[in-house]
Amino acid sequence: MTWLRRASVALALLLPGFAAAEVSPADCPPGLPAGTTCLRGRDANGAWLLLARPANWHGGLVTHIFGGPRMAPPARDTTDEDLIRYQEFLAEGWAWASTSRRREGFGLRRAGEDTLAATRAAEAAFGRPRLSVLHGQSWGGAVAARAIETLNEPDAEGRRPWQAALLTSAVLAGPTRAYDMRVDLRAAFQAVCGTHPAPEEPQYPVTLGLARGQVMEREALMARYLACTGADLAPEARTPAQRQALGDLVAASRITEWAIPGHLAWATTVFADIAWRMMEGRSAFGNAGVRYSGTSDDAAFNARVPRITPDPDARAKLARDGDPTGAIAIPVLTLHGIADSTVFVEHAAAYRATLEAAGTAHLLAQVFVDDGEHNKLSAALYPAALAALADWAETRRRPTPGEVRGRCEALRSRYAGECRVLSGYTPPSWESRVNPR
């Protein structure tokens, strides 16, 4: 029986004790390396699986976790764009596994379980890989960081599901801290603009994202933002009130002006998902003790800004779901652009501090890039970082940023982009970038 035919049977038959998954040969996303073979199907919880094996497969497997969290319901093609975006892994001989996850929205532990199911499905379809690496991008990095602590126990033969982890542009401060700047943005927006919620709408603590049952399209939210700030106008065309409003939002949240719309949208939809689908309407976030500075009138701003105290049970539940503890047993390499305004580079500093406190920082290598992109840095960096990580997992010799840069330069003839890796860079502390609580 060929591996393609074998993959079309129930994978639980090949992995006793693991929930059934069904995959079969299927179409690949467009533009992948020639000779790539794809499998699609669903796991026992209904999540869509996408598996891919390149013609030059060397036995390595990458299980990818996408970011977000996305709010669109899972679909057959949910992870197609991710495989296209990171097809350099395939070109370098790595097989691929990804999952749509069983449902949209937050929940890092649940997302980790779905990811493990994708890894097991790939093992059953392709055979046990020589090396299994977990790749978490953006919020997917938060999922990966928690998964390698809670779902990576060795089997009877001493082999773990993942032998290494690559975390790119990753959310690593833990969800009880990672969204503090968005809490500050929502509080500042209400203090300055007063339209989210508007006076005639049901009122709620802004850390709940939206009132129960309410839905707000991004266009409607952006209309409120633009009316308040004039951010779509040239600076000279804005009213004095709009210029002041935008300046106060930037100062209070410490978010770059151009990045505010995205953070405001996430502080609406993601906060609502957490509050109403995980916390029974309780707030896991707060700003009760924050002192805001740099606004047009700090005293007046601090007097009128909404103050929210987090519910202790909700906060503890969120911590259990996603805050890293540092209890890792495999090599981890992080890759981050230092000017990333979506996920601040200070997340990497927070993660290092967590691992140092846990005594596991020797298992961490960090690579920083002179770049502000979030979704995709230079294409050559990803296979370079993955190759360095794979060597580390197999030889126990931790790579340096200079080695990753050298690997990247060697790949530039095949992949676009520059290799602006910074040797010796140390990111500022988390507390230096986000208003302290």
Question: For the chain, how far is it from start to end, CA to CA, in angstroms?
Answer: 60
pTM of the predicted protein model: 0.94
Cis before 436? omega within 30: no
pLDDT at 12 over 70: no
Starting at the edge strand found earlier in the chain, the sheet holding 95-99 runs 21-26, 37-43, 48-53, 95-99, 60-65, 131-137, 164-168, 332-337, 364-369, 421-422
Q: How confident is the model at residue 21 (pLDDT cuts 50, 70, 90)?
A: confident
Residue 20 has pLDDT above 90, yes or no: no
pLDDT band at 396 (very low <50, low <70, confident <90, very high): confident
Q: What is the pLDDT of residues 183-226, one digit of tens each?
A: 999 999 999 999 999 999 999 999 999 999 999 999 999 999 99
Task: Report, as an integer, the average pLDDT of 81-99.
Answer: 98
Q: What is the pLDDT of residue 363?
A: 98
What would you measure as the largest C-alpha separation in the chain, in angstroms? 74
Strand partners, 42: 22, 48
For residue 431, the one-letter residue type is E
Round to whole Å and give the CA distance between 335 and 353: 16
pLDDT exceeds cutoff 70 at 9: no
Neighbouring CB atoms inside 10 A of 159's CB total 10
> Would you tell me how many other CB atoms lie within 10 Å of the CB of residue 281?
13
Q: Model confidence over 362-390: pLDDT tens digits?
A: 999 999 999 999 999 999 999 999 999 99
pLDDT top residue among 437 and 16: 437
Phi-psi region of 294 (alpha: psi -120 to 50; beta: other; left: phi over 0): left
- Tell whether the model's pLDDT for residue 11 goes beyond 80: no
Give the pLDDT confidence of 31-46 residue by residue, as tens digits.
999 999 999 999 999 9
| Cβ 134 vs Cβ 359: under 8 Å | no
pLDDT of residue 6: 47
Q: Nearest-CA neighbor of 52 among 87, 14, 10?
A: 87
Angle between helices 260-277 and 218-229 (to 10 degrees): 130
Q: What is the pLDDT of residues 251-309, one digit of tens each?
A: 999 999 999 999 999 999 999 999 999 999 999 999 999 999 999 999 999 999 999 99
Residue type at position 333: L
Q: Give all domains of the chain, ordered by start, each with its CATH number.
A: 3-175+321-433 (3.40.50.1820), 176-318 (no CATH)
Asked whether residue 247 carries a pLDDT value surpassing 90, the answer given is yes
Across the chain, mean pLDDT equals 95
pLDDT tens figures, 309-335 = 999 999 999 999 999 999 999 999 999
